[in-house]
Amino acid sequence: MNLPSRRAFLAALPLALAACVSAPGTPAMPPLIDPTKPKRYPRPSSQYLAMYSEVKDGGFTVPAVDLTQVNPAFLRREVSYTTDEPAGTIVIDTPARYLYLVLGNGKAMRYGIGVGREGFAWSGSAVIRRKAKWPSWHPPVEMQARDPKARKWAGGMPGGPDNPLGARAHYLYKGNVDTLYRIHGTVEPWTIGSNVSSGCIRLINQDVMDLFERVPVGTVVKVLERPAASVA
């Protein structure tokens, strides 16, 4: 299924502008985790502790991730991955809550993700037309009307550790039309593996920073409705 047409995008603009923030609602399927109640997992290996350690970046500090709150199945790793997509393509497996960066030769870098809740999940093809470090966030008018905290940022919330878009954002376009969907970081790493956003794809900040360095503007993004590849 293709992404919506320009007319559909414009018609859905008020809703889509709310994308990329956590929102209440019934998930499209039982989430792999409950994003409101962080679970506790075993302490991972030193390799992962180093991978998700504190990072100084752009004048900000990305805190170390408490990996006991993240399902280890969603931590970044290189995997065997069979696909017809060329190297450099991003494939987002929404049902499994994984983002794959195809490396070629049957390999991919796999990242755990949080995905859209019911009514905001989407599928199809898009292209990264813009990338940003520490992006600003602009809450929609509807959100400002119901949330005093959002009204505070009517003019835009500057990038920083508390910004809902996290440390990096990749802006997805269909042709020359901004889909209003993003691949971005999150200040809530315990939500990875769940249906929490309004359609955007969220990664742990350390993961979205890693992805940012690997993919250029022009990267093709394929969003799947169902798993379509074999993974080891």
Q: Write phi, then psi, for 139 (nearest 5 degrees).
A: -65, 140
Residues for the chain: how many in total?
232
Phi and psi, residue 49, nearest 5°: -60, -40
Based on the residue annotation, tell me whether 138 is a catalytic residue of this protein.
Answer: no
Going by DSSP bridges, is the β-strand pair 55-57/60-62 parallel, antiparallel, or unpaired? Answer: antiparallel
Whether 20 sits among the annotated catalytic residues: the reply is no
| Identified catalytic residue from 20, 138, 170, 200 | 200
**What is the distance between the alpha carbons of residues 183 and 131, in angstroms, rounded to a whole number?**
10
SS (H, E, C) 33-65: CCCCCCCCCCCCCHHHHHHCCCEEECCEEECCC
Question: What is the token pair recorded at 70?
Answer: 């993240």
Please report, for residues 96, 118, 152, the alpha-carbon distance to residue 200 in angstroms, rounded to integers and kept in the order given: 15, 12, 23
For the four alpha carbons of 106, 109, 112 and 118, in that order, the dihedral sign comes to: negative
One of 20, 138, 170, 184 is an active-site residue; which one?
Answer: 184
Q: Which residues are catalytic?
A: 184, 200
